[in-house]
Chain A
Amino acid sequence: MKKYLYIIVVLLMYSCEDVIDVDLNTIEPKLVVDASLNWFKNTTGNDQEIKLTLTAPYFDNEIPPATGAQVTVSNTGDDLFVFTEESNTGIYKNNTFVPQINETYNLEIIYQSEIYNATETLKSVVDIDFVEQNDEGGFSGDETELKAFYTDPADEENYYFFEFLNDIPEVPSLEIYDDQFTNGNQIFGFFTEEELETGDLVTIRNYGVSERFYEFMFILLQQNSTDGGGPFQTQPATVRGNCINTSNPDNFPLGYFRVSEATELIYTVQ
């Protein structure tokens, strides 16, 4: 909700912003785990990939891959899924993965002789019911707003992770929602973009996620936003995900191991 306050402050201050150079310190590279196993509805979910990278100086354009790691995922039934690297890209793939709702998975990575671990449960998600388009102009007056409606199940706590992709921005638009105030209702994921034109395609994905991922992503999105700043900014800090370094706890990894059921809808702008 504070986000809405940010919006108004940013609007008031918009004209006074400029991009500047700042000298920053840089930490020793750390392992970054970008392990998101997604089981899209009506697919087998066998094909999965995990991306391992390293941290880089803030203004660098290149993110170095973490190559040469051994990556495996196991379930409670002792099935082992081995992820193999595609020629020094830091991308590790597997095509035998077996997704199952509410199954708990364990990720193990051995990188530079240190062992990293994470555990997560595969969360289900409901379908996107429909998309509503609003051309009224939104906050700035020339925005196109999309609302992707879904119906929250009343009998459980749910957490949602939305991804909105289209060709215009380089960066995907990510949103997270909980059902604290909307339990059991039909509610929406929200996307707004000034440059949208009739005929543009917007890919909308919704992932079922755990409460911990919700908390993690909440902070991450807060800390990455280009708006938001000013005196109303919260204190940023290093964000710890669900991965640990069992060999050397101080050299903890960043990122998250997420396992989700997912739903996708491709919307054509009217």
Chain B
Amino acid sequence: MISFNKSILISFLLIFNCALAQDKFTLSGTITDAGSNETLIGVNVIFPDLQTGTNTNEYGFYSISLPEGTYKMQISYLGYSIMTETLTFSEDKTINYKLIESTESLNEIIIEQDIERLNIKKPQMSVNKLSINTIKQIPVVLGEVDIIKSITLLPGVTNAGEGSSGFNVRGGAADQNLILLDEAIIFNSSHLFGFFSVFNPDAIKDIKLYKGGIPAKYGGRVSSVLDIYQKDGNSNEFHMNGGIGIVSSRLLVEGPIKKEKGSFLVAGRSSYAHLFLPLFDLDNVAYFYDLNAKLSYRLNAKNSVFLSGYFGRDVFNISDSFENTYGNTVVNFRWNHLFSDKLFSNMSAIYSDYYYGLNLNFVGFDWNSGIQNFNFKYDFKHYLTNDLKLEYGLNSIYYKFNPGDIEPSDESSGINSFKLTNKYAFENAIYIDAEHIVSDKLALSYGFRVSSFLRLGQDELNVYENDNPLNFNDELQIYEKANPIGSESFDRSNVIKSFLNFEPRFSLAYQLNEKSSIKASYNRMTQYLHLLSNTTSPTPLDIWTPSGKYAKPQLLDQVAIGYFRTFKDNLYSLEVESFYKKIQNRIDYIDGADLIANNAIEQVILNGRARAYGLEVLFRKNEGKFKGWLAYTLSKSEQQTPGRNTTETGINDGEWYNTAFDRTHDISITASYKLNNKWTFGSNFLFQTGRPVTFPNGQYEFNGINIPNYESRNSSRLPTYHRLDLSATYNPSPDSTKEWKGEWVFGIYNMYNRRNAASINFGQNRMTGQNEATRLAIFGIIPSVTYNFKF
């Protein structure tokens, strides 16, 4: 099977190599920030006379081939002064450029139209990029700058509501997002059950969210890719920056190991230990912390190495009865190597794990669970000609899943120790993607990914009669667990189930005129891991489980079409996209399935399907004192789990039902206004259709308590969600030449104090016996203040 893949790759390469021999010279190099020597991602390198250009990759590298001659070159990047130079080509050149951050002057440099035209030309669609500076200007709850919350302001992105983990892209579930931090997979993106995200904004350089037309480089999740890169650290000078907020404080230290060549960066963030203590009369501890560290070293012009790490934990302790710790750990080694000025490569070796631990003193046990993985990636970017770029590579991930073990916490405990069976899997993929400029008007991107998933041997795999772990009781019309007729144990080197999937990816851009283009894309993706969660939003306790005998991999097919246009020299831009996607083998759970400490998950799941479609509009004002965007999404997201044969009911009687992330209308407006050098104001407004929920349609009495009887799944909705947030940033001395620079950020979250329902819960009041509907509204109006500094 591997040799088959190789032959595809080689023949693919051969086809393109034929088109190579030409009298052209290559200009390549790295573009960095002049101050910190930090590499810059996505810098435009333009040759206006030739109507051609390129941009830097994730490691700041660029490469472009040009015919002999003398040309004007322009280098531009958001927030930096444009650099113009005239270059004569008679040989291959390597030139590294340093860009100077544009001073906070009011005469903003107008970016010329050539640059944006390149963007509308590029076949990549359904992608949103946010610079960390934009993210920092968005008002946020309690003053905590939050990457995940910021992306929910983009079209097609929502989350399950305040205090819920993760985010949902185009009607997909939270576990269908591939979240990469410096190429490492992050399994849980939230602190404190979703109130904050795990990414320290100070340590982040660039984020990119792919919602569709996802390049073949990425795989393993079906909904989206959130690709986050950390800063490398300043290799010129030693610097510190940080912030003091009402929830947490941050500190980042960076500096050279060897000037211009090597740098380090260490960033820490911690919330205050008794975060919720003022709110409740409780003896509690609830806090989170995270630590980012990175070493970068440029060995020579062709080789750079990076060692980066992330460690984050949440800790809860309530009255010593309950102690809970969870978080991610990532260690990552990368090596950039230039095989030639046209062939860039990056090799990554990554270890990451997610740990969840619980200590319940009052019951008397400890609980540990987690997932560990070793990830190897080798990615190539091949700048064959200006019209044809290739990306290809391979990826191998070895997983170890610990679904949980229980240990009695002391000798008097009545709990027996118990271990849920570990699971092991091996995921491999190879991919190739071509970006091909066919004509002045037409650009294509096409490629594929071949992924395979091997479920490796484990102990005590249950065996069922007719391989059916879930029976349907025809008389009572309910699903019931089947009793295993035995169990099998396999050596780890055995493959107990294997999957192989071919994932084609295709997109095109057709330029209608100087200002507008249409784009279309198709992508198929496979997801081999499932997050076992039958709740609206994932919890930290939810367990990832690999595909195998009973859970098939999720398969996505998505098509999208879009119209892109700029106005007034790119002062304004408009993006309109429509998408349709369907997912096969989406796991669903039988009513009342208990997923916690369940060693036989196959007894409570059924394979269903999901679909989503919608229209997204993004209108931006890109420059000037007043900047911002308006995003509108009209969409539908549904799920269906029919019975496996005609006698079975399936889930929700086999009918399609709204997923918890279905939002018919979703509007967000984000704006910032720069009054003068001292004051900048920001605001955002959100308006969303309420989340689908299941309400009672009656009650009955059983064993002395009132029981609600529920309607069909998700057929009602919470009230409409809307709120307005404001922020103001005050820089007391913008023209100061002192080393120390400080700024104040004032914020008001939920300005008009709307009690947006996070949930409505039905139950019987214990004291009065009355049935009640209880609304949970998490954040009312919340003012905040943060002080940020750097020196």
**Complex: A6 Cα to B284 Cα, angstroms:** 16
- Chain A residues within 8 Å of B694, by CB: 235-237
Q: Mark B226-248, 1 if CB is under 8 A from A, else 0.
A: 00000000000000000000000
Q: Given that A8-B316, A17-B774, A17-B776 are known contacts, is A255 also in contact with B534, CB under 8 Å in the complex?
A: no
* CB–CB B707/A223 < 8 A: yes
**Complex: A244 Cα to B475 Cα, angstroms:** 7
- Chain B residues within 8 Å of A188, by CB: 414
> Quick one: which of A18, A136, A139 contacts B322, CB cutoff 8 A?
A139
* CB–CB B362/A24 < 8 A: no
Asked if B463 is at the interface (CB within 8 A of a chain A CB), the reply is no
Distance of B120 from chain A, by nearest CB (Å): 39
Q: Which of A25-33, A40-48, A77-85 contacts B (4 or more CB under 8 A)?
A: A25-33
* CB–CB A171/B702 < 8 A: no
Asked if A266 is at the interface (CB within 8 A of a chain B CB), the reply is no
Asked if A74 is at the interface (CB within 8 A of a chain B CB), the reply is no
* CB–CB B705/A172 < 8 A: yes
- Chain B residues within 8 Å of A19, by CB: 772-775
* CB–CB A59/B771 < 8 A: yes
* CB–CB A235/B707 < 8 A: no
Asked if A87 is at the interface (CB within 8 A of a chain B CB), the reply is no
* CB–CB A57/B705 < 8 A: no
* CB–CB A169/B759 < 8 A: no
Distance of A172 from chain B, by nearest CB (Å): 5
**Complex: A1 Cα to B541 Cα, angstroms:** 10
Interface residues of B in 649-706 (CB under 8 A from A): 652, 694-706
- Chain B residues within 8 Å of A104, by CB: none
* CB–CB B755/A185 < 8 A: no
* CB–CB B774/A63 < 8 A: no
Asked if B763 is at the interface (CB within 8 A of a chain A CB), the reply is yes
> Quick one: which of A139, A171, A232 contacts B318, CB cutoff 8 A?
A139
> Quick one: which of B283, B322, B596, B758 contacts A7, CB cutoff 8 A?
B322
- Chain B residues within 8 Å of A252, by CB: 477
**Complex: A57 Cα to B755 Cα, angstroms:** 27
* CB–CB B766/A239 < 8 A: no
Q: Find the B residue at minimum CB distance from A246.
A: B475
Q: Given that A22-B773, A139-B322, A231-B160 are known contacts, is A58 also in contact with B697, CB under 8 Å in the complex?
A: yes
* CB–CB B765/A20 < 8 A: no
Asked if B103 is at the interface (CB within 8 A of a chain A CB), the reply is no
* CB–CB A141/B319 < 8 A: yes
- Chain B residues within 8 Å of A219, by CB: 591-592
**Complex: A78 Cα to B711 Cα, angstroms:** 40
> Quick one: which of B279, B475, B713 contacts A237, CB cutoff 8 A?
B713
* CB–CB B541/A56 < 8 A: no
Asked if B1 is at the interface (CB within 8 A of a chain A CB), the reply is no
Q: Mark A46-73, 1 if CB is under 8 A from B, else 0.
A: 0000010111111111010000000000
Distance of A165 from chain B, by nearest CB (Å): 8
Asked if B282 is at the interface (CB within 8 A of a chain A CB), the reply is yes
Distance of B755 from chain A, by nearest CB (Å): 7
Q: Given that A226-B761, A231-B759 are known contacts, is A24 also in contact with B697, CB under 8 Å in the complex?
A: yes
* CB–CB B775/A18 < 8 A: yes
Distance of B84 from chain A, by nearest CB (Å): 52
**Complex: A230 Cα to B763 Cα, angstroms:** 13
Distance of A153 from chain B, by nearest CB (Å): 14
Q: Find the B residue at minimum CB distance from A143.
A: B319
- Chain A residues within 8 Å of B705, by CB: 171-172, 174, 224
Q: Find the B residue at minimum CB distance from A15.
A: B279
**Most A Cβ at <10 Å: residue of B539, B702, B779:** B702
* CB–CB B163/A224 < 8 A: no
Asked if A101 is at the interface (CB within 8 A of a chain B CB), the reply is no
**Most B Cβ at <10 Å: residue of A20, A59, A184, A231:** A231
**Complex: A35 Cα to B764 Cα, angstroms:** 21
Distance of A117 from chain B, by nearest CB (Å): 9
Asked if A133 is at the interface (CB within 8 A of a chain B CB), the reply is no
- Chain B residues within 8 Å of A136, by CB: 319
Q: Mark B742-776, 1 if CB is under 8 A from A, else 0.
A: 00000000000001001111111111111111111
**Complex: A242 Cα to B478 Cα, angstroms:** 10
Q: Find the A residue at minimum CB distance from B700.
A: A32
Asked if B133 is at the interface (CB within 8 A of a chain A CB), the reply is no
Asked if A99 is at the interface (CB within 8 A of a chain B CB), the reply is no
Distance of A253 from chain B, by nearest CB (Å): 10
**Complex: A48 Cα to B286 Cα, angstroms:** 51
Asked if B139 is at the interface (CB within 8 A of a chain A CB), the reply is no
**Complex: A41 Cα to B341 Cα, angstroms:** 87
- Chain B residues within 8 Å of A20, by CB: 760, 773-775
- Chain A residues within 8 Å of B415, by CB: 181-182, 185, 187
Asked if A256 is at the interface (CB within 8 A of a chain B CB), the reply is yes
- Chain B residues within 8 Å of A204, by CB: none
Asked if B51 is at the interface (CB within 8 A of a chain A CB), the reply is no
Asked if B642 is at the interface (CB within 8 A of a chain A CB), the reply is no
**Complex: A247 Cα to B250 Cα, angstroms:** 69
* CB–CB B697/A226 < 8 A: no
* CB–CB B697/A25 < 8 A: yes
**Complex: A218 Cα to B163 Cα, angstroms:** 26
**Complex: A21 Cα to B321 Cα, angstroms:** 36
* CB–CB B773/A141 < 8 A: no
Asked if B544 is at the interface (CB within 8 A of a chain A CB), the reply is no
**Complex: A88 Cα to B276 Cα, angstroms:** 54
Asked if B194 is at the interface (CB within 8 A of a chain A CB), the reply is yes
- Chain A residues within 8 Å of B535, by CB: 231-235
> Quick one: which of A12, A29, A172, A227 contacts B276, CB cutoff 8 A?
A12
* CB–CB B324/A63 < 8 A: no
**Most B Cβ at <10 Å: residue of A183, A190, A224:** A224
Interface residues of A in 201-240 (CB under 8 A from B): 215, 218-220, 222-240
Distance of B676 from chain A, by nearest CB (Å): 38
**Complex: A38 Cα to B701 Cα, angstroms:** 18
> Quick one: which of A5, A12, A60, A181 contacts B418, CB cutoff 8 A?
A181
* CB–CB B697/A27 < 8 A: yes
- Chain B residues within 8 Å of A196, by CB: none
Q: A229-B774, A244-B476 are in contact. List 11 more A-B contacts (CB 8 A).
A: A2-B594, A12-B193, A16-B777, A32-B702, A58-B698, A58-B762, A170-B767, A222-B592, A223-B707, A233-B761, A255-B702
Q: Which residue numbers of B lie inside 8 Å of A, CB to CB?
A: 160-161, 163-165, 193-194, 276, 279-284, 286, 316, 318-319, 321-322, 324, 358, 360, 362-363, 365, 367, 406, 414-416, 418, 475-478, 534-537, 539, 541, 589, 591-597, 652, 694-711, 713-714, 755, 758-780
6 A-B residue pairs with Cβ-Cβ distance under 8 Å, sorted by A, are: A8-B316, A11-B282, A12-B276, A136-B319, A223-B707, A230-B761
